Amino acid sequence: MSELTPDLVRHLAGLARILVTDEEVNRLTEQLSLIVDSVATVNAAVAGDVPATSHPIPMANVFREDVVEPSLTQAEALSGAPESAEGRFKVAAILDEE
Amino acid sequence: MAKDELMNYEKALEQFEVVIGLEVHVELNTKTKMFCGCRNEFGDEPNTNVCPICIALPGSLPAVNRRAVESSISIGLALGCEIAPTGRFARKNYFYPDLAKNFQTSQYDEPIAYEGQLEVEVPSGKTFTVLIERAHMEEDAGKLTHVGGNTGRIQGAEYSLVDYNRAGVPLVEIVTKPVYGAGAEAPELAAAYVRSIREIVKALGVSDARMERGNVRCDANVSLRLHGAEKLGTRTETKNVNSLRSIERAVRYEIQRQAAILAKGGTITQETRHWHEDKGATSSGRPKSDADDYRYFPEPDLVPVQPSKELIESLRAALPEQPSVRRKRLQGEWGFSDLEFRDVVNADLLDQIVETVAAGAKPQSARKWWTGELARIANAEEKDAAELAITPAEVAELATLVESGKINDRLAREVLGYVLAGEGSPSSVVAARGLEVVSDDSALLAAIDEALAKQPDVLEKIREGKVQAAGAVIGAVMQAMKGSADAGRVRELILERAAQ
C-alpha cells in the first residue's frame, strides 16, 4: 500500500507552488497512490541483489569537450517568455529567499 | 530588521562549545558551462550565454563537460579525498526561478570525492585539521534581480528579473564534517579554511577564485552546545558571506546571538540566515527544508562518471605544491620572519606579494606597502587590501620609485592616494603632479641657509660633535619644502655646511 496521504499531497503541492483545492487533493491522492502502488510492484519482481539502475543502457563517461558552441541571442532566448524586461526574464517576486 | 540580543563573546565561550561546518562553493573557470557549450563568462550582457539546455527548453539534453569533471577530481585530490570509481548526477528538485528546469543537476549520495582533510593555520599560529566530508559537482543558478519595493531587498519586491548566463556554470561544493574544538578561534578558523580552499583552487588553476565575483562562496553552519554535552545543538546556516572578513564576522555574530537565546532557555530555529555586511548582522531567511523535500533522484539524462585509475593518477601527478609547502618555500625565498610572514598570510596578502615581487619589488618593500599603508587604507574602507584599486605591478612601481630616490615615503603615500583615486600609474601621477623630491641642491641649500639663519647656534653645536642638533634644521627645511625633499640629502648638506 502506498503511504500517500492527503497531507503529503498538500505538502508536495506546496513545494511545487501549486494551489490545490480539497477536491483536487482527494483526486490526486487517489491517482498518485495508484501510480506509486503500480511502480511498487516492480520491487516485488526483483530480488534484493539487483543493483538499482538509472539508465537503460549500461554505459558511462559520455563527455563533451570544453569547447564553446554558439548560444542563442538575447532576443531568441526571451522570445518564449511571457514577460521580459531589461534583457531578462520577468517573473513574479518570490518572497522567501534571497 | 529586529535587533538581535547578543551575548558577550568571551562569556558565550565560557558557557558553550562552538561547532562549525562549512560549505564552500567553487565556480570552475572552464570555458563552457557544466552541461552545455555556452560560454562561462562573468559580466556579459544578460541572457546572451544561454541555449535550449541551460534555459530548459523541452527536448534539450545535457552533456557533461570533461574538463569540469577533471577539475573536480583535482580539487578532490588536493583535499586528500578518495575519488569515487563511479558516481551519478542527481536532480535536486525545487521551485525557484533561478533555474529554469525546476531542479538543479547536482550529486547526492554519490559525490565524486569524499573523506579528505585539510590542515588550516589560524592567526595565532595554531593548526587545525578540518575533515572534509565530500566534494561534489553541480551547476550554478541564474542571477535574480528584485525590482520594486522600497528597500531593494526581497521583501516588498514587485517582480524579479532573471539572467540565466550563470545558470549551468560548473560548481564544486566542498562540505566539511563538523569542526570541533576551535573555541574562541572558530571565526578565524572558518575564514582561514576558506582562504586555504581559495589558495588551492587558484594554485590548481581550476577557478579564478575571486570572492567579490562569487567564484568562491561560503555558507557557514554554526551550532552551540553546553560544554560536555554530547548531542549537537541546532544549527543555523548563514549564507551570503562573500568575503573572508564577513565569514569571520558572521560566525562570531551567530555564536553571540545563539548564546543569548540559549542562556535564556530559548531554542534555536534551524534555518537559513542571511549575512548583511552593512549592518554586521544576520537575519532570518527561510526555514531549512528537510533534505528529502528536494526529492532527489538519479538524473536519467546523464550516464555515470567513472574516472579511470590512469586519469586519477595523472591528475594526482599534476597537483601543485600544497599551500603549507608553498608557504614555507615563499617564506624562505623572501627571508621574512615568522611574525612578518604570518601577518602577510592573515591579511590574505600572499598572492599580492608574490605578484608584487614578480613585478620587480624587493620582498621586504612589497611586504611593507601591503601590510602597512595599503592595509591601513583597506581597513579604513572596510575592505580587503586585495580589493583596493591598485595592482601589484603598480605597488612594485611605487616601491621602485622610492628606492631610486625619485620620491620619498611621504610623497609615495601621496602618490598612492592619487593612484587609488584612479589618476593612473605611480609614474604618471608623479609626472603629472610634479611630485618628485627636490634633488636640486641649490634649492635645498637656499632653504637650509634660511633655516640656519633662524637657528644660528646649530652649526656651532654640530662642530662640537652634537650632530643631532641638525634635526631641528632638517625639520624646518622639510616644512619649507612641503615634504618634497630627501631628508637624507638635507642632512648631508647641513653637515657639509658645518664642515666648511
The full set of domain ranges for chain A reads 1-47
Task: State the pLDDT at residue A80.
Answer: 93
Q: Of the candidates B41, B27, B44, which has an alpha carbon nearest to the alpha carbon of residue B202?
A: B27
Does pLDDT of A95 surpass 60? no
Task: State the pLDDT at residue A50.
Answer: 81
Q: Which of A84, A89, A96 to mutate to test the interface with B (most CBs of B within 10 A)?
A: A89
Judge: B161–A85 Cβ closer than 8 Å, yes or no. yes
**Distance from C-alpha of A59 to C-alpha of A50, rounded to nearest angstrom:** 17
Does pLDDT of B157 surpass 70? no
For chain B, the average pLDDT equals: 90
Q: Of the candidates B119, B122, B111, B56, which has an alpha carbon nearest to the alpha carbon of residue B89?
A: B111
User: Dihedrals φ, ψ of B128, to 5°?
Assistant: -115, 145
Residue B366: alpha-carbon gap to chain centroid: 19
Q: Which of A3, A4, A57, A66 to mutate to test the interface with B (most CBs of B within 10 A)?
A: A66
Kindly tell me the burial class for residue B38, based on how many C-beta atoms sit within 10 Å of its own C-beta (0-12, 13-18, 19 or more). buried
Q: Touching check for B37 and chain A: CB below 8 Å?
A: yes
Q: Touching check for B291 and chain A: CB below 8 Å?
A: no
Judge: B37–A64 Cβ closer than 8 Å, yes or no. yes
Q: Touching check for B61 and chain A: CB below 8 Å?
A: no
Nearest-Cα distance to chain B for A86, in Å, is 8
- Number of independent structural domains in chain B: 3
Does pLDDT of A2 surpass 70? no
Residue of chain B whose alpha carbon sits nearest to that of A61: B305
Instruction: Tell me which residue in B35, B86, B286 faces A97 most closely, judged by beta carbons.
Output: B286
Does pLDDT of B290 surpass 90? no
Q: Which residues pair with A89 in a beta bridge?
A: A84, B162
Judge: A67–B49 Cβ closer than 8 Å, yes or no. no
Mean pLDDT of A59-80: 97
SS3 label, residue A45: helix
**Distance from C-alpha of B410 to C-alpha of B69, rounded to nearest angstrom:** 52
Task: State the pLDDT at residue A98.
Answer: 40
Mean pLDDT of A64-68: 98
Q: Taking a C-beta distance cutoff of 8 angstroms, is the pair B353, B363 a contact?
A: yes
Task: Tell me the residue length of chain A.
Answer: 98
Measured on CA atoms in the order B255, B259, B260, B265, is the torsion positive or negative?
positive
Task: State the pLDDT at residue B42.
Answer: 93
Mean pLDDT of B435-441: 73
Judge: A15–B95 Cβ closer than 8 Å, yes or no. yes
Mean pLDDT of B433-462: 80
Mean pLDDT of B192-210: 93
Does pLDDT of A77 surpass 90? yes
Judge: B46–A92 Cβ closer than 8 Å, yes or no. no
Judge: B95–A16 Cβ closer than 8 Å, yes or no. yes
Nearest-Cα distance to chain A for B238, in Å, is 12
Judge: B31–A68 Cβ closer than 8 Å, yes or no. yes
Q: Touching check for B293 and chain A: CB below 8 Å?
A: yes
A14 chain-B contacts, CB cut-off 8 A: none
Tens of pLDDT along B292-307? 688 899 999 999 999 9
Residues B426, B454: one domain?
no
Tens of pLDDT along B337-367? 998 998 898 888 998 999 999 999 999 999 9
B37 chain-A contacts, CB cut-off 8 A: 64, 67-70
**Distance from C-alpha of B224 to C-alpha of B232, rounded to nearest angstrom:** 7
Judge: A98–B306 Cβ closer than 8 Å, yes or no. no
**Distance from C-alpha of B413 to C-alpha of B418, rounded to nearest angstrom:** 9
Bigger pLDDT: B337 or B387?
B337
Judge: B46–A64 Cβ closer than 8 Å, yes or no. no
Lowest mean pLDDT among B81-95, B330-344, B396-410, B431-445: B431-445
The answer to whether position B360 is within a domain reads yes
Task: State the pLDDT at residue B155.
Answer: 55
Residues B205, B258: one domain?
yes
Q: What 8-state DSSP symbol labels residue A55?
A: S
Tens of pLDDT along B83-108? 999 999 999 998 889 999 999 999 99
Looking at B287, B315, B343, the residue that finishes a domain is: B315
Lowest mean pLDDT among A52-56, B167-171, B282-286: A52-56
Judge: A69–B36 Cβ closer than 8 Å, yes or no. yes
The answer to whether position B1 is within a domain reads no
Q: Which CATH class is domain A1-47?
A: mainly alpha
Which residues 6+ apart lie within 8 Å of B488 measured at CB? none
Residues B94, B71: one domain?
yes
Tens of pLDDT along B470-499? 888 888 888 887 777 778 888 888 888 887
Kindly tell me the burial class for residue B258, based on how many C-beta atoms sit within 10 Å of its own C-beta (0-12, 13-18, 19 or more). buried
Task: State the pLDDT at residue A97.
Answer: 46
Q: Touching check for B101 and chain A: CB below 8 Å?
A: no
Q: Angle at the Cα of A50 (from A44 to A53), degrees rounded to 5?
A: 100
Q: Could you tell me the pLDDT band of residue B287, with boundaries at 50, 70 and 90?
A: low
Judge: B160–A65 Cβ closer than 8 Å, yes or no. no
Residue of chain A whose alpha carbon sits nearest to that of B103: A16
Residues B237, B345: one domain?
no
Task: State the pLDDT at residue B102.
Answer: 92
Percentage, residues of chain B above pLDDT 90: 63
Looking at B414, B433, B452, the residue that finishes a domain is: B433
Task: State the pLDDT at residue B107.
Answer: 97
The answer to whether position B357 is within a domain reads yes
Q: Touching check for B148 and chain A: CB below 8 Å?
A: yes
Name the residue range of residue B469's domain. Answer: 441-499
Task: State the pLDDT at residue B125.
Answer: 84
Domain CATH number, residue B463: 1.10.10.410
Judge: A93–B69 Cβ closer than 8 Å, yes or no. no
Task: State the pLDDT at residue B58.
Answer: 94
Task: State the pLDDT at residue B224.
Answer: 97
- Please name the residues between 70 and 99 in chain B that touch chain A, using a CB distance below 8 Å: 86, 88, 93-97
Nearest-Cα distance to chain B for A23, in Å, is 24
- pTM of the full structure: 0.80
Mean pLDDT of B69-73: 98
The answer to whether position B423 is within a domain reads yes
Mean pLDDT of B264-283: 91
Q: Could you tell me the pLDDT band of residue B67, with boundaries at 50, 70 and 90?
A: very high
Residues B416, B465: one domain?
no
Q: Of the candidates B197, B220, B163, B203, which has an alpha carbon nearest to the alpha carbon of residue B26?
A: B197
Nearest-Cα distance to chain B for A36, in Å, is 15
Residues B486, B354: one domain?
no
Does pLDDT of B467 surpass 90? no
The answer to whether position B29 is within a domain reads yes
Judge: A55–B286 Cβ closer than 8 Å, yes or no. no
Q: Of the candidates B332, B19, B330, B323, which has an alpha carbon nearest to the alpha carbon of residue B195?
A: B323
Q: Could you tell me the pLDDT band of residue B151, with boundaries at 50, 70 and 90?
A: low
Residue of chain B whose alpha carbon sits nearest to that of A57: B303
Judge: A66–B31 Cβ closer than 8 Å, yes or no. yes
The answer to whether position B35 is within a domain reads yes
A51 chain-B contacts, CB cut-off 8 A: none
Q: Could you tell me the pLDDT band of residue B150, with boundaries at 50, 70 and 90?
A: low
Judge: A60–B286 Cβ closer than 8 Å, yes or no. no
Nearest-Cα distance to chain B for A4, in Å, is 15
The answer to whether position B17 is within a domain reads yes
Q: Which of A88, A90, A96 to mutate to test the interface with B (most CBs of B within 10 A)?
A: A88
Bigger pLDDT: B419 or B439?
B419
The answer to whether position B303 is within a domain reads yes
Judge: B38–A17 Cβ closer than 8 Å, yes or no. no
Residues B336, B311: one domain?
no
